[in-house]
Chains A and B, each alone.
Chain A
């Protein structure tokens, strides 16, 4: 597929209250990060976040409708053809759509580095399968992403979540242990994450 309208992209509603329309995955783009967003029921269109972990610079371009961006505590109302460039990854940013048909295109990458698809894309893409209890599909999507990013702790952690919910306790323990070995903070998440309730009493579950 060489072209698509933003309204022809997959629409994945996320728990944070906005709709992710994957562009990079749709076209198999490898060289840069690009995705589109539409508002969810709450009007949120860009979740509040920073890019400190990934070190990305980002451009948010309004393609349709209107959106109010909040960047570093400052509000800016944007119309089609207007954009926010967030140079410093550490700045908090978010946006709320002011019209139902608003579409924001987000472009992002890390200066000086070859682009690597972000682990969160595979996790977001697996949301519909997980929501419908199609654990085998959700697990497969994580495994495919892990082939390219075998040492991604977030991917391993989420894969473990899917495996725990999907009745694969040994795989879940294996991948959770690997995630924690890469980044100890995942042990704290696991302690409170209900995804792991099915395997919490298993021998070897991290304490």
Chain B
């Protein structure tokens, strides 16, 4: 083995639960340092588990999902697809899509990027991993990744918003409000839309600083 290439199994990857426990990411791209575009694996441990979250790629990314094993039911717009191993599902940008495991141990690889644009690692990957570290009791490791992600993705509202969620969940109210204030300054309408309904912030609602922001 040398640093020019790497051999691994998708089963060698970490299994990272989303904060709400409904998704399991196997962070392929981060693990191997792949740079040309996004590629990750998602696992449905049990039949009925969500494998691909219900979402649209609003920034123009097109995606390809590859069923590696198990069986998944994809919904792509109005279409329902029973996807066996070896099935490729192409989701153009903006198409509402999701996938549910139809069998235990369903593994799907997701590939994505924006046509005509050089790809850059997205902040969501780092935040997902940081929150997974927190959920696994490794908050310091997660916080270090949050700080590093904010440094690498300056100027967005999503970064400090996610950092605020992280600190609110960790119980550091001062840090949470500091990040939330930065996010608010950058996108007040969006923060007023999302934050009051975000359960991550429930415990902050009684704080006077919450009232200052949201009345």
Contacts and interface: CB of A to CB of B under 8 A. Distances in A.
A113 B35 CA distance: 10
B64 A23 contact: yes
Interface string B83-95: 1111111110000
B132 interface: no
B112 A85 contact: no
B144 to A, nearest CB: 25
Interface residues of B, number: 48
Nearest to A4: B88
Given A3-B88, A29-B64, A72 B116 contact: no
20 contacts: A2-B81, A2-B89, A2-B91, A3-B74, A5-B88, A23-B64, A29-B62, A29-B90, A32-B112, A61-B109, A63-B86, A69-B7, A81-B9, A83-B10, A88-B4, A90-B4, A107-B111, A109-B36, A109-B37, A109-B119
B6 A85 contact: yes
Interface of B: 1-11, 32-37, 39, 61-62, 64, 66, 68-69, 74, 76, 79, 81, 83-91, 107, 109, 111-119
A116 to B, nearest CB: 9
Nearest to B115: A30
B50 to A, nearest CB: 19
A87 to B, nearest CB: 6
A57 B88 contact: no
Contacts of B39: 59, 107
A1 B118 CA distance: 26
The dominant DSSP class at the B interface is: strand
A5 B71 CA distance: 12
Contacts of B35: 57, 111-112
Contacts of B117: 31, 114
A115 B86 contact: no
Nearest to B65: A3
Nearest to A56: B36
Given A57-B35, A63-B85, A85-B8, 8 more contacts: A31-B113, A76-B7, A80-B68, A84-B7, A85-B32, A110-B36, A114-B116, A115-B113
